[in-house]
Structure formats: structure tokens, C-alpha cells
Structure 1
Amino acid sequence: MSGLVGIVSLNHHAARSTDVATMLDTLAHRGPNGVNSWVQGRAGLGHRMLWTTPESLLEVLPLVDHAGELVLTADARIDNREALFEELEFGDRPLEKIPDSDFILAAYQKWGTACPEHLLGAFAFAIWDASKHSLFCARDHLGVKPFYYYHQPDQAFVFASEIKAILALPQVPRHLNEGKLGEYLALMMHDRTLTSYCDVLRLPPAHSLLVVPSGLKLWSYWSLDPDYELKLDSDEAYAEAFRELFTEAVRCRLRSAFPLGSHLSGGLDSSSVTCVARQLMANIPDTYLHTFSNIFDEVAECDERPYINTVLDQGGLIPHYVHADQFGPLSDTAEIWQYEDEGLLGPSHSYPWHLNRATQQAGVRIVLDGLDGDTTVSHGFFRLTELARQRDWLTFCREADRLAKNFNCPPQLVLRRYGYPILREWGRTLKWASLAQAIRVIYQQFGISRKRMVIEFGLKPLISPLTRLFRPNTAQATLGKVAYPSLVKQSFAKRINLDCRVQTGNQIASASSTVREDHWQSLTHGILPFVLEQLDRCAAAFSLEMRHPFMDKRLIEFCLALPAEQKLNQGWSRMILRRGLAGILPEAVQWRGGKADMTTNFLHGLLVRDRQKLDDVMLHHLELLEPYVNLDILKAAYRRLTSGRKASKDDKLVVWRAVILALWLQRHSTN
């Protein structure tokens, strides 16, 4: 975790050192261990230093090569140092004395703009090449390290680790991107480039950017292959391969000059990271892993201490606790807005904020977490849809039944989610033989009425087109319209062409027909880098570096390539992880079916601890939302939520999205 900034003049004016200094001042929290800048001619680069690895103690950025032609600024952790050391020329310098930034600059000297293809790790960097009058920028494969930029053709290119540093310059407009706000209100986060500001963009993950006076060139240097399937000899071979890759993903993130910590929730992901890290650190004398866990005394149904304790009982860990029912989701927004540049927060944002505060107070600077193991490994639930399409209904029913038992839900719920859509499709396309065979097996396995299924999936799909034929006005009225949440004001939706945005997002989301396609869609969705950026800012606020072993390129490529039965098998999702970490994870965690639902604590925080702030927004600060939100819908949801009656999930999300956006707009208008 460090901070990088820079500006390149695209005309004959020189870059100004005062601009670089202004940007660096806004990022003081990202680098308390040093600040430096380099300004010469049309280019100026700056850096805020946070020491993390042993090599970073020797690092000086911006880094200038011996000829004075190349200048690098970076926020980076390079994980394939040993391999690069063999390929690049460092003379007699020992490996342990070479900072990560030296590897990046040497890679550029050897491979030019193809250098990101040779790097592993988390990185965002920019290299000014004076001989070519160009700036080369790159961001890591998953987008762990942030990179934002502003481009004014023929005038300037400005970049930074955080949006606030770019907006600190008076020449950068602060116009809100209403399209992005609309997508947030409509629960869409597909785009990987746009931000909440019209003129500030993000460099997408796995992309490079070349800036020259005539313009910008953007390209992807890596992508996931949705077609490749890995074939090994046995379940044991797959499990061993996973264990080796995951252990390496954790190992290379343990490189630190400071005490290490791990967020431990008791779930499968954070427990996997913590247990493997503990095992790797066991042979290092006088070294212990600190753990940081949310606990709940007042809202006991959210408490996961029985699972947390099974991990702690293994030893070698120093536990710390945060009483997560003692604050609400709005309790810290005034402080959070000092660091968070976009107001599109989820209802769980306060948990990592308080965990990071506890981490800083414990003197820990590097913290591991289990983000987003669900996506990386994949639950594999889409295997059920795949089995249905393959007409293997017997295996479908057996997996659905075991899944229901393992996750404590009715098998009919699994059937409705993954089986009935296929039956409906077959009825609509007149695939009677396939439909009849499926109905017979489902009846035999689950006892569901054959007559009811024939009516629902055989007759109704035939009747519906006839009904529409005799009601042409109704059909025409809905033609071309796309459903989006009623919270969004219709005039606003029309102004930003939200129908088209939602339709595009729906087409992307519905394109999957196999487990691997569904897995690929999840890994390439815009929400993943967005969440990574928010977690980066949340850690930076406390001068911490957060590391994510599940966001390892090698691990993600491996998991995507797995056969479907390695993801969902015997009713267990993420089977490859459960098998692969056998003997490392406590069995109580290894074979747990789900995790605690935090909704109760969210409502407790919002309606009890933060009630005054919630009411204040709803009663006095809705004018900022009026251009974007259907206030009648919002007020009705608020009344249901606060009346004491059981509110729907939609009501909770409607109120949350509107209130958090109102608070952010209030701060934005003040600034």
C-alpha cells in the first residue's frame, strides 16, 4: 500500500511541481513513511511510501534509471521475484536487497510495454519514458491496486491511486456521473471503467495504457480462458493441486517487515487463509499471526465464535475482537467520507472499517483476508442447470437433495431455482419428450405432482402466447421495456437511458449455459474490482495494506478450469477447497453448509443505533435525491421498515441505497 500520482502535459507547457505536491498532500494517509516527487519538462511523478516488505525499507520512489531516461512510480508487490531475478540483469546485487520497483523497471527495460505479462502480484505503476515522450501505465490482473486517471486531449493527463488526488487540481471538473448513480440505484455494477465523476476513469484490471501527445492507447494484456478445462487423474490429484496453489498464494503474501494479521470471520474463506498462514508461519521463531474477528453479544444469531474458536484452538494465533453490534452502518459515515471517494457503499462496509481500526491499534500493518473466495473457487451451483440441460435428471435430483440437506433448505427451493427454468424453456419450445422424462424423474425423486408440472410447464407456455395475441395493446405497451427497481425515478431513468444499460447487463448475466461460463462471468464482473478498490481505501485510511490470497492469478486460472464436479459434488459447493484443505481446516469449518446472515445486525444497527441519523436524512435531506429517486416509493419503504412490521428485503435495500447516496451527495455538494 502506497500512493502514486502524476501529471503529463500534452502541450508545450511544463508540468508544475505544485500540482504534484497538491496531489501528494491529499494522499498522506497512504504513505506515512516518506514522500518524494520528480518533475522535469512535461512530466511530474510523485509517491507516498508505506513500508511493508523488507525490501520496501530500501526503496526510493519515484525511481530513475541510470541514464535518466526512465522514471517509475508504483504501488506494487511483485510475487514472482525469484523467477524475474533469473531473467533480468541485476549484476551482483543479492535478491533480498532488490525492491519490487526495481523489478518493474528492469522488466520494462527488457520487454517494453509487454512487461506486465511477465509480472505476478498486485501492482499499479506508471513509467515516464523521456526518449519516447510517453507514459506507460499498467494495473494488475484482478485490480487489487487502484489506478484512476483524467485525460484532457491536447492539455494534460493526470493519474493517481485515489480520485480525490485528481480532483484536488483546479483544472479537473467535478461533474457527477449520473449514469453511474443510476446503475447503483438499479443494482448494476457491470462497467469496469466509469466512476462517479464524468471526467475521471479507472484503468480496468489487466490493462495497460500508453499516453503520447497524440492521444491514448488502451489494451488488455491478459484475460481468462472460459473454454479451457483441466483434466487430472483423480479427485485426490485435483485436491493436491489446489492445496499447492493456495498455499503458494498465501505464502507469497506473507512477505513483511512488520507483524501480520488476518481477518477471521469463521467462514470457509477467511478460515482457509488463516489456517494456511498459521501453518506456514509455525516454523518461524517468535512469530505469531494476529487474528481480527467480529463478535456479536446483543445480536447473538450473527455470532460466529463457535467456528472462530475452532480455528483459534489450533494455536499460534493472537486473537483480537471487535464488538460489531455496538455500531451501525451509518455510525462512521462522516469519517469514512474523508477517505471514500464514491458514495456507492454496500450495507456491510462498516465491518472492515472497524476491523482495520483494531488492526492498526494492535500495531499490525499487513492484513490478510478471505475476499472473494466464493467467486474464485465458485460454489458450482450452476452445475445443476448444466445437468438439467444434459437431461441427467437423476443426478440433478440426487445433487439437489444433498445440497438441500447440507445447506438446510427445502429441495423444492433448489428445484425452482435451477430445474424449473429448463422445464419452462422446454415447454415453450415444444420439447415434449424431454419434458415428460424430466417430470417423471422429478415425481419419482421428490413426489411433486405430475399433473401440476404438466399444467405449469406444458400448457401454460402454450396459452401465454395466445393470451398476448388477443391482447395486443398490453403486449405493445410492454414491448421494449426493461424492468428496473421502482426506486429509480422514471424521468431520470429516461435521461440516462437506463433501460439500455439494464438490458445490456441482463444480456451479460443471462449468457451463461455452463458452470464455467457462469464462473467466468462472475470473475469478470465489474463489481469485483470496485469492491477491491473500496477495501483498498478502507485499509489506506489506517495506513494498512490488505492482501487477498484468493485474488491470485494462478489460483483463479486453476479454479476456472476445473470440471464442474470439482466445484459442486455430493451436495457440497466449493468441493475442491473442502477436499484440498482437509487436515488444515477444522472439520467444523470444512463441512459447514452456510454462514451467518448479517441482516439482523444490519437492521439492529440502522433502526436502533443509527435511528437518529436515519430519521434525519429521511425527514430533512431528501431534496438532493429528488432528481434521481422516486420519493413516494422510498418513503413507503421507510414507513414499512420503521413500523415494527416485518419489512421485505427490497425495503431494506431501497432505504439503504437512498440514504447512503443522500449522505454522500450532501458531502459532495458541501465540497
Structure 2
Amino acid sequence: MSGIAAIFYFDGRPVDPDLIARMTSAMAYRGPDCIDHWTSQQAALGHCMLRTTKESLQERQPLQSDDGSIVLVMDGTLSNWEELRRELLSRSARLRTRSDSELVLRAYEIWGEQCPHHIEGEFAFVLWDSRRQRAFCARDHAGRRSLHYHWDGKRLIVASDIAGALAGGVQARPNRGMFAELMAGIVLSKDETIWQEVLRLPAAYALSADPDGMVRSKYWSPPSRVTVHYRNDDDYVEHYRTLLFDCVRRSSRSHLRLGCEVSGGLDSSAVFAVASKLQHEGRLLAPALKGYTLKFEETGSEADEIAFARAVGQHSRQAIAEVPPFLPPRRWFQERSRADCDIPPYPNGAMGLGMAAAATGDGCRVILNGSGGDEWLEGNLLYYAEQLAAHDWSGLGRSLREDIASVGLAKTAWWFLRFGPTELLPPPLWKALRTIRRVSASGRDEAYWLSPELRSLLAARRTASGTDVVASTFIDRRGVSRWLNNAYSAFASDLGTKLAARAGYEPRSPLHDRRFIEFAFATPDRIKRKATIGKYTHRRALAGLLPDMVVDRMTKAEFTVAFARQLDGMANLFEGSKPDVRSYLDLSGVDRLFDTYRSESYEGNPIWKLWGIFGCMTAGDLLSEQEC
């Protein structure tokens, strides 16, 4: 994917052109095709270009308006480029090229800072409006393209990556609060990074700055109530299937071979199967398609999904390359952390870099994935509360009968009480109940491996984040809202995009399309889940497109093998750390956490917490140099 950088001074100081060059240099891996800059007295913008569509082949950024008063840099692609182009032409916009960046620039000229309402896709952009002496930035609705910034009241520095922002002259200090969250395995903040002075612009947010100050505002929210109602499940399935095909088609736009991850799980397999069908019908917006899957040496292990992936390939009559997982030494993660000025990627995320290398070696610059399926399609048992709140007695009766037939009377009765009347308690009582559960859970796991100072800091941050967005959400939208407001997902997404950028490709997630998420919010949970069967509508829509063994699959791969390779032998790593490490950790507590990991009980998910400790210590340069 491409990279963007910008510097704006609002105190009369001139911008040093060398600074913007340093920022793009720190993200040079994002610009294999070209790196360009634009500078003026008080603003500078830089762009690192990776061309991924036919429309981008002649594109140059930074892009200026006809009179030069507006300058824009953008990373990403639009999914509504066809509709937006027609709308702009109907308003007499002058389109000089067919590039997506041109559409965004013209959208700003027509709608101003309301333009994100008209733009759909995976994008982040920054522009400078010299007429208004104002900078404006926006990030897509799902946060699929990263955007970081620094604001000190007089200057705004913006970059795709943390390293790019720091190269703009930001003197950053470690954010101990964020370290506490990551080392405890509990990410609470959606906009903080490991540096106090560098923030992440959250998904669906826009930011504007001028001499009067900086304003951050949310420009998009999904439907707050169920608005799509059909008489029977078949109509929901047909609606969903049509939407799924359209989202994959729009994500497939590339001038080169299109790659697709095919884990063998339901979601990535679905995206690949739909793309294959579109190709056979002549509707795929790429000249060719190829799938890629991981092949572990140990057949039959919990990470091995090769039988499912092969079944998908045979059913679709498409080639799926089998690639060994990328399992580098610990030193590789430490080097990545230092280069990125961030915590290193998680081993299960880095594992797919072998597939990325194979795909880019085959000429792919765009790789589709199945991210979003678990979030928006799984459904949950809140359909009991949903039906109670709507006084849908016939629907409730049907759900109870189906669940009793599936899991028995006793379990259904417990489900009904837990996910029915309990969820309809008045908000103050509901919040109090959640607080009791959270306190009870924290009592069992006090983050005993953190120093007393960091445990206290973590407790304060838990309290500060106590305003529960989910609690104020309508009952029929609480399930999906938990994902929309998940801070860890936002954090992990940025780590993933950085990996993809360094690997030289653009990841696209059809299941995170804005219309896809809106459909998830606008439809009842009872059509997503039936008792123990999650992704019910998704599964039904895929009948015939995928082999039955994949459609009916209820298991998921388990990738602790990627962590074990790193964690085994790491126990003594912290003992020889620099003195400052003791202000972060209780080393006896770390030993205890390792004991839990070695016991293979994995109670409390010690793997994620141990990796969080290692990542933060590496990023904070607190580990002593040693061979890995």
C-alpha cells in the first residue's frame, strides 16, 4: 500500500523541506513506484506510491487542484468509485484523470469537510486548503488504512506510520499507560500509541486544524436499530448473497493478478470462492486470480488447515499455492520493532508473510482476505433480548423451540435468562452488572507481572474507560457494537497494514465494506445465529459455492505454534534487561506467567501477555542486546 506524510505550521514558521523528505524516507518501503513531495511556506506533503489499479498507472501525488489552492495525498482505494464519479460529473466537476485521488479532491471541492460522507472504501487522506489556511484529514469507516498524527497547538504532523510521524521532528516519550495495557493483554485506548506525542486517528474520524486549533469529529456510524425485515430466512440469504458478491467485486479492482488468502476457514474461503465465480462470469475486475494458503510441516496439527484449503481449490477449480509459514528468529521481530518505532508484529500475523512473498513474486499487488467475517457475521444469543424488546412473540417462540431441539431444555433456559431479561435491565443496573463481572475477572487476574506502579496506572485507565459505549447501545445492536468499539482490533489492524506495506502489497477486506457492516447492523441477530450455529446466513449463502466440509466447519485453526517458537527459551531474557525494566515489571510475576505458559493450561491467555511484555520491552529499548 502507499504511504502519506504531511507537515503544517500555524505559527508563521516556514516548513523545512528536509523534514518531509525524512518522513517519506522513513516509509520508503511504501513507495516502490515513486516518492514525491510538495512544499509551500507553511505546509509540506509527501507521498510514497504503490500502484494497484489501472486508474493509478498515470497518477502522481501530491495532487493539486486546478488553481493549486488545494493539495492532497491519499493512501487506499475507493469502493464506490463508479457512483462517486457519476455524482461528481452530474455536478459539473472537471475530472482530469480517472484516479481515486482525483475523485476525493473533487469531492472536497464540492462538499468540503462533509466529503467523507460521500466516500466509501479503504483509505486515509490528508489535504491542505491554502484558501482557508486549513488542513483536513480523514480515515475510512473501518480503519483499514492507518493514519497517525502529532498536534502541539502550533503544528500538525501526519503520517501513515509512527516512524514517519517521528521523523517529522516529534520528540516522543514512552507512553507508560499504553505499555501497561499491552503488557496486561488489555487494550483500552483506540487512539493512543506507545508514544505520548503520537496518536492514531480512529476509524470513521476526520480531523481539521487551522490557526484557531484542532478539531476531531466522527463522520460515520452504522444503523442504530434493525431496519431490514423480511418474512423468511430465504430473503435474508438472497439479500446477503447479492451484497457479498458486490463487495468482493468492488474489492477486486487491480491491473495485475489478484491474490487471495485461502486459510481453509469459512470467511477467506468464501471471498476466494466468490472471486472465482466472478472470474468465471467475466465480472472480476482483475485479469487473473490465484489463491494462497499455509502448509505446515506437521500435518494434523491444530494449525494445519490444508485439507480444507485443498477442498476449496478443487471445488472452485482454481490453483491455490501452498506456502510454508514464515517463522523467523526472535532477532527479526526486534529489528522490525526498531525500524517501525513500534511494538513488533505478533508471530501469528507475521506467519503469513510467506504467502505475501509468494503472491508478490507472482505479480500480485492486491491480496484479498476474509477479515471481518467473525466480527459482522457470527451473531450471538442476544436474539432473545432482541425479540423480547420488539415484542416479537412468534419469533421468540420459534427461537426457543429451535434451540430446545438443538441443545435441550436446560441449556436453552439458561441462555434465555442470561441473554434475554438480563440484557433488558435498565442501563444503570446493566452497567453495574458488567462492572461486577469485570472486577471479578480482574480479581482472578491482577496483572501480577506488572510493577505496582503500572498496575495502579492500568486500574486508573480501566476506570477512565468505564463509560461503556455498548451499554448505551440499543439492545438489538449490542453484539456487533462490541466489535465496532474494540480497541484491540484497531491496534491489531494497524500492525497488520504495516506488515503488508513492508511486504509490498495492498490488503483488501471485502467483509469490512461499509455497506457490509451496515447490513450487519440493520439485520436481526436471529438470522446470523441459530443456537450453536454461527454465521447462519453466511453459511446458507455459500451453499454450492464451497464444499460442504468447509460450509459446515465449526472449528478454527490454533496458531500457538508460532508463539511457542519465540517464547520457548525467552524466560531469562528479562533477567538481564536494563535497570529501567523493573519500573515496568515484577520479574517474579513474569516467572509465574511463564510457569502458566509451560503448564500448557493457557489459563488467562499467557501467550498474548508474554508477547506483549516482550514487544513493549523491545520497543522501549529496555532489553539488553543478546543473540536470539
Same fold (TM over 0.5): yes
Which amino acid in 1 is paired with 2:254? S
Residue 490 (str. 1) matches residue 488 (str. 2): no
Contact 2:379 2:535 in 1 (8 A): yes
For residues 308-328 of structure 1, give each alpha carbon's deviation from its aligned partner in whole angstroms, at most 9, with x where no partner exists: 11110034533222323x726
Contact 1:264 1:308 in 2 (8 A): yes
Q: How many Å separate the matches in 1 of 2:600 and 2:53?
A: 53
For residues 403-442 of structure 1, give each alpha carbon's deviation from its aligned partner in whole angstroms, at most 9, with x where no partner exists: 669xxxxx988887x467579979x99xxxxxxxxxxxxx
Residue 525 (str. 1) matches residue 479 (str. 2): no
CA deviation after TM superposition for structure 1 residue 151, in Å: 1.0
Which amino acid in 2 is paired with 1:141? H
Residue 635 (str. 1) matches residue 597 (str. 2): no
For 1:605, the equivalent position in structure 2 comes to 565
For 1:29, the equivalent position in structure 2 comes to 29
For residues 484-538 of structure 1, give each alpha carbon's deviation from its aligned partner in whole angstroms, at most 9, with x where no partner exists: 43333322222x3524525735845666784521212212322233222111101
Q: How many Å separate the matches in 2 of 1:414 and 1:306?
A: 34
- Secondary structure at the aligned position of 2:319 is classed as strand
For 2:465, the equivalent position in structure 1 comes to 504
For 1:168, the equivalent position in structure 2 comes to 167
Gap change, CA 1:317 and 1:299, over 3 Å in 2: closer
Contact 2:37 2:46 in 1 (8 A): yes
Q: How many Å separate the matches in 2 of 1:596 and 1:269?
A: 13
Contact 2:247 2:516 in 1 (8 A): yes
For residues 588-638 of structure 1, give each alpha carbon's deviation from its aligned partner in whole angstroms, at most 9, with x where no partner exists: 211111222333x2465246xxx34x2452443375542222221210222
Which amino acid in 1 is paired with 2:616? L
CA deviation after TM superposition for structure 1 residue 57, in Å: 0.5
For 2:430, the equivalent position in structure 1 comes to none
Contact 2:449 2:589 in 1 (8 A): yes
List aligned pairs for 1:54-133, cutoff 5 A: 54-89=54-89, 97-133=97-133
Q: How many Å separate the matches in 2 of 1:101 and 1:139?
A: 14
For 1:249, the equivalent position in structure 2 comes to 247
Q: How many Å separate the matches in 1 of 2:618 and 2:406?
A: 41
Which amino acid in 2 is paired with 1:200? V
Q: How many Å separate the matches in 2 of 1:539 and 1:637?
A: 32
CA deviation after TM superposition for structure 1 residue 551, in Å: 0.9
List aligned pairs for 1:148-187, cutoff 5 A: 148-154=148-154, 156-170=155-169, 172-187=170-185
Q: How many Å separate the matches in 2 of 1:281 and 1:667?
A: 51
- Secondary structure at the aligned position of 2:56 is classed as helix
After TM superposition, the structure 1 stretch with the greater mean CA deviation from structure 2, 313-322 or 212-221, is: 313-322
Gap change, CA 1:283 and 1:669, over 3 Å in 2: farther
- Secondary structure at the aligned position of 2:351 is classed as helix
Alignment length (residue pairs): 606
Aligned partner (choices 573, 581, 600) of residue 617 of structure 1 = 573
For residues 524-579 of structure 1, give each alpha carbon's deviation from its aligned partner in whole angstroms, at most 9, with x where no partner exists: 32223322211110100111100001110001101111112101125421111112
Which amino acid in 1 is paired with 2:262? L
Contact 1:329 1:348 in 2 (8 A): no
For 1:311, the equivalent position in structure 2 comes to 312
Q: How many Å separate the matches in 2 of 1:497 and 1:86?
A: 50
Which amino acid in 1 is paired with 2:248? V
Gap change, CA 1:557 and 1:425, over 3 Å in 2: closer
Q: How many Å separate the matches in 1 of 2:447 and 2:384?
A: 29
For 1:573, the equivalent position in structure 2 comes to 534
Gap change, CA 1:376 and 1:329, over 3 Å in 2: farther
Contact 1:269 1:370 in 2 (8 A): yes
Contact 1:89 1:106 in 2 (8 A): no
For 2:436, the equivalent position in structure 1 comes to none
Identity across aligned pairs (percent)?
Answer: 26
Which amino acid in 2 is paired with 1:117? H
CA deviation after TM superposition for structure 1 residue 11, in Å: 1.1
List aligned pairs for 1:376-525, cutoff 5 A: 376-383=376-383, 418=415, 421=418, 484-494=446-456, 496=457, 498-501=459-462, 504-505=465-466, 507-508=468-469, 514-525=475-486
For 1:553, the equivalent position in structure 2 comes to 514
For residues 80-107 of structure 1, give each alpha carbon's deviation from its aligned partner in whole angstroms, at most 9, with x where no partner exists: 1221222214999998951111101111
Q: How many Å separate the matches in 2 of 1:423 and 1:120?
A: 36
CA deviation after TM superposition for structure 1 residue 639, in Å: 3.5
State the TM-score, normalized to the length of structure 2. 0.87
Gaps of at least 5 residues in structure 2 are: 427-432, 434-438
Contact 2:407 2:531 in 1 (8 A): no
For 2:47, the equivalent position in structure 1 comes to 47
CA deviation after TM superposition for structure 1 residue 198, in Å: 0.5
For 2:290, the equivalent position in structure 1 comes to 290
For 1:441, the equivalent position in structure 2 comes to none
After TM superposition, the structure 1 stretch with the greater mean CA deviation from structure 2, 337-346 or 627-636, is: 337-346
Gap change, CA 1:402 and 1:669, over 3 Å in 2: farther
Gap change, CA 1:106 and 1:646, over 3 Å in 2: closer
Gap change, CA 1:247 and 1:396, over 3 Å in 2: closer
Residue 657 (str. 1) matches residue 619 (str. 2): no
Which amino acid in 2 is paired with 1:162? D
- Secondary structure at the aligned position of 1:12 is classed as coil
Contact 1:340 1:538 in 2 (8 A): no
Gap change, CA 1:20 and 1:385, over 3 Å in 2: same
List aligned pairs for 1:3-14, cutoff 5 A: 3-14=3-14
Which amino acid in 1 is paired with 2:536? M
Which amino acid in 2 is paired with 1:243? R
After TM superposition, the structure 1 stretch with the greater mean CA deviation from structure 2, 179-188 or 354-363, is: 354-363
Q: How many Å separate the matches in 2 of 1:425 and 1:241?
A: 32
Contact 1:47 1:73 in 2 (8 A): yes
Residue 332 (str. 1) matches residue 316 (str. 2): no
Q: How many Å separate the matches in 1 of 2:421 and 2:87?
A: 57
Gap change, CA 1:229 and 1:193, over 3 Å in 2: same
Q: How many Å separate the matches in 2 of 1:177 and 1:488?
A: 15
Gaps of at least 5 residues in structure 1 are: 406-410, 430-460, 462-476
- Secondary structure at the aligned position of 2:185 is classed as coil
CA deviation after TM superposition for structure 1 residue 182, in Å: 1.4
Q: How many Å separate the matches in 2 of 1:423 and 1:116?
A: 38
Larger Rg: 1
